[in-house]
Amino acid sequence: MIGSRVSGGMDRQRKGNGLERIMKRMRGWIFIWVGLMLLFGWKTPAHAQGSGRILFISSYFYGWDRVEMQIQGMRESIGEAYTLDYEFMGTRQSDDEAARRLFYEGLSYRLSKTEPYDAVILGDDEALLFALEYRDELFPGIPLIFEGVNSEELAQRASQDPLITGIMERLSLKENIDWALKLMPKAKKVVAILDDSLTGEAERKQFYQYADQYPQLEFSEINTSQLSEMEIKNQLWQLDENTILFFIVMTDNKDGKLYTEKEGIHLAANYTKCPMLRMVEAGAGEGILGGYVSSMTEAGRVAGELALECMNRRGNQALPAVADGPSIYYVDEALLDQFKFSHSLIPEGAVLIHHEPSFWEKNQAIIKPLLALIVVIAAMLAWVLWDNVRKRKLLKELEDARGVLESASQHDFLTGLANRSKFMEDLQSVIATETPCSVMMLDIDDFKKINDTFGHTAGDEALKQVAARLKEMQSPLLTPYRFAGDEFILILTSAQSKIVEKTAYACRNVFAKDFRIQGDNKKVTGSIGVASYPQDADNLEKLIVCADDAMYRVKKSGKNMFAYYSQEAADA
């Protein structure tokens, strides 16, 4: 999705003057900033120029799902300007003293050949333990940021060092059990799939801590490290449909067979009749129904932000405190249907996997290729069909294609609403018949701030959601349009005060519910100006100006409201 840019308002002269005023203010602020730099000798921090080097040490290996998510999150926050190197301990394949020693010797050699890193990010418990053991030799004086660590005791001990901070991976068992009980109110058991790894031991301790909070549920586990693969399958198969099953960690069995995360999930999903929940996002869509999960991508992003913050700290400024990792709801919609759970039980704001898209979601991406295909077919027919009968058929097809293109030219591709050209044409037709009507100009408040803060992709999301809500209001009397940039306009073929007022309130309610922007709920507001024909204006241009003036009066008086055009207010 390409970020939208505000393309101008309805009055070119006023917008032009506004842009000129903004440029003058910007030049003024630049002069002030340059003056302050010269006066105080301020310098831009070196890391702000993208000169920092960051090392990420993972307990696992690159092919591990959660590792790829962590790196993706780090890249999103660090950006391409910074160097981000990786080292992988591979503890899932071999976790013994010899393997740790080999990793230490290799890393020590590689570090001796490079400049020291500005910050080191440590993924999961084993990497943090390794860094603590070899801190003085490998990372003297370098800030360490851990993420994905399950052991609270380990995290607290590490954070006693003034150069170590990070985020805990707190698996939200309570939230998940509460949600599972809504799905399966008859459940009597809670079973966890665990192993004897360091992560498994930490999660086992947290798992059984909740048993006293749910006396109606029997807590137990399937310890894969102490079972053969056949025994694991048998225990999974014996679970009834009302069991709350959590897949937490499964790296091996008692015969020494190692499992990747995906292999473990597939094995469990294929041999159980009950829905399976998880508390980390890795594996979503692979047989996990869902859950309130610790987001590996978000954890990586926050870790990257902490690394930048540590690199840019001044003097003895303390590192940020240890924080809890971010969590979100994931739900596999296909599995929800398979187990016949109601969609009303999907938590608000949940990320949906295997979501069945609506007709518009399915077809909006093929509109352009479809039109291109029509043109290509028409061109081929023009080349092949040379006789008069075929030419007439070709002319008809070309005429049909022209009609489609004309329709597309009158609609905004981003929002699907009719565009400014169509609005002007429709309003002119209404006024030409002297039909009383009202125009409602709607502008998103602080839209530039949304673009500047969250990016133009977020601006696109806000525009599309406003358009979707306006479409729901459409009726034989009311038609919405995208006017320009973040401005929308509606034609109401009525000037009756009660109908106009009711419609104005409905426009305001477009912003009553939070908007979903980049996965988070955001409050977005809008200002609305209303003008009616023939009471306020006797022609198209003046009617639009009146609505625009009313809307800008709302902007000046606090926003997030609507106002009717008033000649007295306009003259004031």
Number of C-beta neighbours around residue 544 at 10 A: 22
Whether the Cβ atoms of residue 494 and residue 515 lie closer than 8 Å to each other? no
Ramachandran category for residue 244: left, alpha or beta (phi over 0 → left; psi -120 to 50 → alpha)? beta
Look at residues 409, 442, 475 and tell me which one is the last residue of a structural domain.
409
Res. 556 pLDDT band, cuts 50 70 90: very high
Query: Quick check: 6 pLDDT over 50?
Result: no
Look at residues 373, 390, 409 and tell me which one is the last residue of a structural domain.
409
- Mean pLDDT, range 177-197, rounded to an integer: 94
Annotate 502-536 with DSSP letters as a single string: HHHHHHHHTTTSPEEETTEEE---EEEEEEEETTT
Query: Quick check: 45 pLDDT over 50?
Result: no
- Which range of 18-27, 141-150, 373-382, 521-530 scores highest in mean pLDDT? It is 521-530
The domain that holds 205 is classified in CATH as 3.40.50.2300
553 and 486 within one domain:
yes
pLDDT of residue 1: 32
pLDDT higher at 261 or 478: 478
182 and 163 within one domain:
no
pLDDT higher at 40 or 174: 174
Average of per-residue pLDDT values in the chain = 85
* Within a domain: 384: yes
Whether the Cβ atoms of residue 348 and residue 318 lie closer than 8 Å to each other? no
* Within a domain: 107: yes
215 and 156 within one domain:
no
Res. 314 pLDDT band, cuts 50 70 90: low
pLDDT of residue 21: 54
- What is the rounded CA–CA span in Å between residue 327 and residue 502? 40
Res. 418 pLDDT band, cuts 50 70 90: very high
545 and 428 within one domain:
yes
199 and 59 within one domain:
no
Query: Quick check: 48 pLDDT over 50?
Result: no
Res. 82 pLDDT band, cuts 50 70 90: confident
311 and 200 within one domain:
no
* Within a domain: 236: yes
Query: Quick check: 521 pLDDT over 90?
Result: yes
Question: What residues have CB less than 8 Å from 566, skipping those under 6 apart?
Answer: 550
The domain that holds 510 is classified in CATH as 3.30.70.270
335 and 227 within one domain:
yes
Query: Quick check: 232 pLDDT over 70?
Result: yes
pLDDT of residue 536: 93
pLDDT of residue 171: 73
Closest CA to 224 of 197, 189, 198: 197
Q: From residue 94, how far is each of 98, 103, 342 by CA, in Å? A: 9, 11, 43
Backbone φ and ψ for 442, nearest 5 degrees, come out as -125, 125
317 and 215 within one domain:
no
Query: Quick check: 111 pLDDT over 60?
Result: yes
- Put the strands of the sheet holding 53-58 in their side by side order: 83-88, 53-58, 119-123, 144-149, 164-168, 323-324
- Which range of 74-83, 111-120, 222-231, 370-379 scores highest in mean pLDDT? It is 222-231
* Within a domain: 26: no
Give 255-312 pLDDT, tens digit per residue. Answer: 999 998 889 999 999 999 999 998 887 777 788 999 988 788 888 888 898 888 888 8
Res. 35 pLDDT band, cuts 50 70 90: low
Backbone φ and ψ for 123, nearest 5 degrees, come out as -100, 115
Query: Quick check: 31 pLDDT over 60?
Result: no
312 and 336 within one domain:
no
373 and 339 within one domain:
no
pTM score of the predicted model:
0.46
pLDDT of residue 198: 81
424 and 403 within one domain:
no
Pairing state of beta strands 119-123 and 189-194?
unpaired
Share of the chain above pLDDT 70, in %: 87
Whether the Cβ atoms of residue 299 and residue 169 lie closer than 8 Å to each other? yes
pLDDT of residue 39: 45
CB half-sphere exposure, 423, CA atoms < 13 A: 27
Closest CA to 230 of 204, 202, 265, 254: 254
Give 205-217 pLDDT, tens digit per residue. Answer: 989 999 999 999 9
Cα radius of gyration rounded to whole Å, the chain: 31
Query: Quick check: 321 pLDDT over 80?
Result: no
Share of the chain above pLDDT 90, in %: 51
* Within a domain: 18: no
pLDDT of residue 372: 81
Pairing state of beta strands 437-444 and 526-533?
antiparallel
pLDDT of residue 28: 55
pLDDT of residue 477: 94
Query: Quick check: 225 pLDDT over 50?
Result: yes
Question: What residues have CB less than 8 Å from 32, skipping those under 6 apart?
Answer: none
**Helices of type H across 385-455:** 388-409, 420-432, 447-454
Look at residues 357, 378, 401 and tell me which one is the last residue of a structural domain.
357
Supply the range of the domain harboring residue 65: 48-170+300-324
Number of C-beta neighbours around residue 17 at 10 A: 11
Query: Quick check: 4 pLDDT over 70?
Result: no
Pairing state of beta strands 487-492 and 437-444?
antiparallel
- Mean pLDDT, range 4-15, rounded to an integer: 39
pLDDT of residue 49: 43
* Within a domain: 270: yes
pLDDT of residue 37: 47
* Within a domain: 28: no
User: What is residue 488's three-state secondary structure?
Assistant: strand
Total of domains in the chain: 4
446 and 383 within one domain:
no
- Mean pLDDT, range 146-172, rounded to an integer: 85
Q: From residue 91, how far is each of 48, 60, 168, 463, 496 by CA, in Å? A: 35, 5, 20, 47, 74
pLDDT of residue 394: 77
Annotate 186-228 with DSSP letters as a single string: T--EEEEEE-SSHHHHHHHHHHHHTGGG-TTSEEEEEEGGGS-
